[in-house]
Structure 1
């Protein structure tokens, strides 16, 4: 069938990404021509591959529209009879052309990303003294969910796409790999990657300016998906669960988060389009806080605040600036 390679990105937990690319021919869609075939397992890298590949690639996302990638199961037709796991598919089929985005970007651990940005929220390891502003960009190493979520906090946090700098590195690395596979269109991939990095740079600037001065820097979220964003923009992520939005928080953990919300006068608890909102709504109900949607951009659902990565990220920024009272 011609050249074939596999690319995976941030393949920790079930929100990993696998991309397969190969020349058109046997087994390709009838209208694919000579385009490379790229398969992803999480929406942000579907968007990224489409932007970088442009007209020269056909992209399929394993997690369909409105599907939570944490629940991704691969059908035999998607992985050729392999075990239903992205990592297994990559290791079995990747060969010399496999690309792991973890080799392109520096992933932070769940423990690093679950920690505080510098607030001192009392006992329980929620924070540490920061600078004069009370914030510190250094890694805190604290475990916000209190170790009750059952996750290995030494493992990598896969939600790297919420840091536009890391996604920029992924775009550049993907362009390089596509150029190796398809050198005839290398200049197009490079130009497309440059356009993507421009978009991501603009979003980063908007976040840096929009979140520079806020009355609060605490974000209470449904699950710990926002560690990269919190670390980059000096926010403090608080979650009743770990990285799995479907894990059940203990009553003690719910009470702990609710007490933090009351103690620090946090006015908004964030839900998300694809995850279970019960815990967040319970905390909001018990504390008098309101709820708002903060999208981890794990997929695009009917209730997402935008229809693609840039529009969702910008909608998230507007939600954050309103909830945190940023000037």
Structure 2
């Protein structure tokens, strides 16, 4: 509560200060080759920054408000950040409760200057899963018509039907037993689910969902800068083609894999699992800071052994400690599955981007699903 109040006070103070500085920043806007000022775009999440840069090209300055190497779940904007946001032409955020500070920030923005884009508005979102949960490929409905077309004939439907039977019932009984033994952990997980508005925000890990977010970004750029609408449309189409190919590559890989279940550090991969008919077993809930109790740790180790899971997958911006302990106890390997909530400083310096990291994720899953 104190942290939230402090963040709110910082935002209000910064926005009050920003009124004096906005005019000066407008006079120093970079110029395009045509001599006109570039529009300023701020994003709250790396995949949105990637999409915005791809679409905007040379006609906008795009920056992510969360620095490289910072876990976005823990991010709170500084007064300097808020002054920068007050000069934005476009402010693009993920929505679905992911950025807890955004609501207060948006309230203080000058809507005549800054267009605010909630990129998950209107999308079909999944419910947030707690820790030590099983996210099935059949949960929820497709975010867009046709998203599941490629799964017909690939075995995804049969996989979903099987899970709706005895396996799904067993999973539910298993979760009820764990909840009874670890009431405080379950309550803590629900607190974090509430922070996310009860929905899973990690939509960008389904390439088709990021494509839908990118289309919203394109539309906002066109509305703000009609002079370059043709360029924005062309760039969007190129990005959409890349995402369509990535989607096809994942579908092809999964169709040739013998397993459909993978274990991850926190439940960031429900949209990816849903898209390709996979099952995510998560050590922690939506927030990677949530940790399982000792009894849950024991159950996870047993689950790895019983289900012949060969990898326990952790991520880049959160501690791998728990995943490493489970892997060691179960006698299996560890690997990295990147939720792309942000780039590490090393990834940024190496020129990694959304596409290259998602291809790395594809290869890691290929190994884990053998």
Q: TM-score range by the shorter chain?
A: 0.7 to 0.9
Map 1:31-180 → 2, pairs under 5 A: 32-33=30-31, 34-80=37-83, 85-93=101-109, 95=111, 97-111=115-129, 115-117=135-137, 133-136=158-161, 148=186, 149-150=189-190, 151-152=192-193, 155-180=198-223
Moved more, 165-174 or 153-162: 153-162
In structure 2, what is the Cα distance between the partners aligned to 1:313 and 1:206? 10
Higher Cα Rg: structure 1 or 2?
2
In structure 1, what is the Cα distance between the partners aligned to 2:63 and 2:238? 22
Work out whether residues 41 and 63 of structure 2, in 8 Å CA contact, stay in contact via their aligned partners in 1.
yes
Corresponding residue of 1:3: none
Work out whether residues 137 and 270 of structure 2, in 8 Å CA contact, stay in contact via their aligned partners in 1.
no
CA deviation string 1:196-228 (max 9, x = no partner)? 100100100000001112221111101111110
In structure 2, what is the Cα distance between the partners aligned to 1:114 and 1:177? 36
- Indicate how the Cα distance of structure 1 residues 75 and 118 shifts in structure 2: closer, same or farther if over 3 A, else same: closer
Give me the CA root mean square deviation: 3.2
Moved more, 179-188 or 299-308: 299-308
Structure 1: unaligned runs, 5 residues or longer: 1-23, 120-129
Give, in angstroms, the shift of residue 115 of structure 1. 2.6
Corresponding residue of 1:26: 24
In structure 1, what is the Cα distance between the partners aligned to 2:121 and 2:286? 21
SS in 2 for 1:64: coil
Q: Which structure's relative contact order is higher, taking Cα pairs within 8 Å and 6+ residues apart?
A: 2
CA deviation string 1:35-80 (max 9, x = no partner)? 1111111111010110111111111111111111111110111113
1:315 corresponds to 2:357: no
Work out whether residues 117 and 137 of structure 1, in 8 Å CA contact, stay in contact via their aligned partners in 2.
no
Work out whether residues 104 and 170 of structure 1, in 8 Å CA contact, stay in contact via their aligned partners in 2.
no
Give, in angstroms, the shift of residue 111 of structure 1. 4.0
In structure 2, what is the Cα distance between the partners aligned to 1:289 and 1:200? 32
TM-score normalised to structure 2 length: 0.71
SS in 2 for 1:299: coil
Give, in angstroms, the shift of residue 25 of structure 1. 6.8
In structure 1, what is the Cα distance between the partners aligned to 2:52 and 2:231? 13
Give, in angstroms, the shift of residue 103 of structure 1. 1.7
Corresponding residue of 1:198: 241
- Indicate how the Cα distance of structure 1 residues 285 and 53 shifts in structure 2: closer, same or farther if over 3 A, else same: same
Moved more, 240-249 or 308-317: 240-249
Q: Which has the higher helix share?
A: 2
Work out whether residues 220 and 270 of structure 1, in 8 Å CA contact, stay in contact via their aligned partners in 2.
yes
- Indicate how the Cα distance of structure 1 residues 131 and 27 shifts in structure 2: closer, same or farther if over 3 A, else same: closer
In structure 1, what is the Cα distance between the partners aligned to 2:293 and 2:346? 27
SS in 2 for 1:219: strand
SS in 2 for 1:99: strand
1:231 corresponds to 2:274: yes
In structure 1, what is the Cα distance between the partners aligned to 2:193 and 2:135? 14
Structure 2: unaligned runs, 5 residues or longer: 1-21, 32-36, 87-98, 140-154, 180-184
Task: Report how many aligned residue pairs link the two structures.
Answer: 292
SS in 2 for 1:110: coil
In structure 1, what is the Cα distance between the partners aligned to 2:237 and 2:129? 33
Moved more, 201-210 or 293-302: 293-302
